[in-house]
């Protein structure tokens, strides 16, 4: 555990704090969509457990939220390690007296042609994107059931899980699995008042998409930036998304405004793929 505190002063634009008092865990919280969600949750009044495997990035991200006036707990975690996941959740629950929400944002991607997908590449994506999601959901759901309280779980999937893509078979398969896992968990956890939903982002301006763009340039023999340009040109809203726009949907799904919403996967993609 790196630290827990509430900073002073805030430039947050949020006025209606919809997550006041919510105890939330966010994986992959040190950058990109995960950082945007952790930041927005803190702005909305939640105590946020930020989980990531990069100590340097995690410390920087947590400090940035503290400067905004947010309350955070930073926990180093590799989501592939089931025992470590259970330990991190237990530590957060012990420190905060419980857990009310989880957002699974930790993920990885490697573009590779179908015929070049090997066991190592397949296992790496499955371990992070699927097993990691499963272990986190299990640990948090068990804690919520033990508390006897309602809760919310949000899994970050992808529109890539809605369709096949050239050079992206393994990642598409993992995100399709996340969507399916979300539906199954929602059905099993509904009797406990635990809602489980997913978000399927499209192209979002994050460090991960920078890596995708670089990998696509090599795979397709095109200039760096061309893959992003081509993909963006197909979006009805005519632009890529911003991490904060995914965060807004995560806030909604976690808040009381979504108290009757479960077993759903919401596309946040500028209209690039039908629901």
Q: What is the structure's pLDDT at 12? A: 43
pLDDT over 50 (residue 1): no
Domains in the chain and their CATH numbers?
20-202+243-268 (3.40.50.720)
pLDDT given at position 211: 87
How much is the pLDDT for 154? 99
pTM, 2 dp = 0.92
Q: State the pLDDT at residue 69.
A: 96
* pLDDT greater at residue 9 or residue 143: 143
Residue 216 pLDDT exceeds 60: yes
pLDDT for 275 equals: 64
Q: How much is the pLDDT for 239?
A: 93
Active-site residue 171, yes or no?
Answer: yes
Share of the chain above pLDDT 70, in %: 94
What are the contacts of 14-17 at 24+ separation with CB within 8 A? 14/40, 14/43, 14/44, 17/43, 17/44, 17/45
pLDDT tens readout for residues 227-265: 888 988 999 999 999 999 999 999 999 999 999 999 999
Q: Tell me what pLDDT residue 109 has.
A: 94
Q: What is the mean pLDDT of residues 24-29?
A: 98
Q: Given a cut of 60, is residue 8 above it in pLDDT?
A: no
Tell me: pLDDT of 203 over 50: yes
Residues in Cβ contact with 116 at an 8 Å cutoff, skipping those fewer than 6 apart: none
Q: What is the pLDDT of residue 220?
A: 85
pLDDT at 2 (0 to 100): 43
The catalytic residue among 49, 171, 200, 209 is: 171
* pLDDT score at 15: 59
Greater model confidence, 129 or 7: 129
Compute the average pLDDT of residues 166-191: 97
pLDDT for res 172: 97
pLDDT of 204 > 50? The answer is: yes
């Amino acid at each position: 555990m790196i630290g827990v505190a509430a900073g002073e002063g805030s430039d947050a634009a949020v006025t209606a704090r919809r997550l006041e008092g919510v105890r939330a865990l966010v994986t992959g919280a040190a950058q990109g969509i995960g950082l945007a969600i952790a930041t927005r949750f803190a702005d909305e009044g939640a105590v946020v457990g930020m989980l990531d495997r990069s100590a340097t990035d995690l410390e920087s991200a947590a400090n940035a939220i503290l400067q905004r006036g947010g309350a955070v707990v930073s926990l180093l975690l590799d989501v592939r390690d089931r025992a470590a996941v259970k330990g991190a959740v237990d530590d957060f629950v012990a420190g905060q007296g419980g857990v009310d929400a989880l957002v699974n944002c930790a993920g990885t991607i490697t573009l590779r042609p179908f015929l070049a997908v090997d066991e190592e590449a397949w296992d790496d994506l499955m371990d992070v994107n699927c097993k990691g999601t499963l272990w986190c959901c299990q640990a948090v759901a068990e804690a919520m059931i033990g508390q006897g309280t309602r809760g919310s779980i949000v899994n970050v999937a992808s529109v890539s899980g809605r369709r096949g893509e050239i050079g992206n078979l393994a990642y598409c398969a993992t995100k399709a699995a996340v969507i399916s896992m979300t539906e199954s968990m929602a059905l099993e956890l509904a009797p406990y008042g635990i809602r489980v939903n997913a978000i399927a982002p499209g192209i979002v301006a994050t460090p991960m998409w920078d890596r995708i763009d670089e990998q696509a340039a090599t795979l397709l023999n095109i200039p760096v930036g061309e893959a992003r340009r081509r993909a963006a040109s197909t979006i009805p809203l005519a632009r890529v998304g911003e991490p904060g726009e995914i965060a807004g949907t995560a806030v909604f799904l976690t808040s009381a405004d979504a108290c009757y919403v479960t077993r759903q996967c919401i596309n946040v993609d500028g209209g690039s793929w039908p629901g």
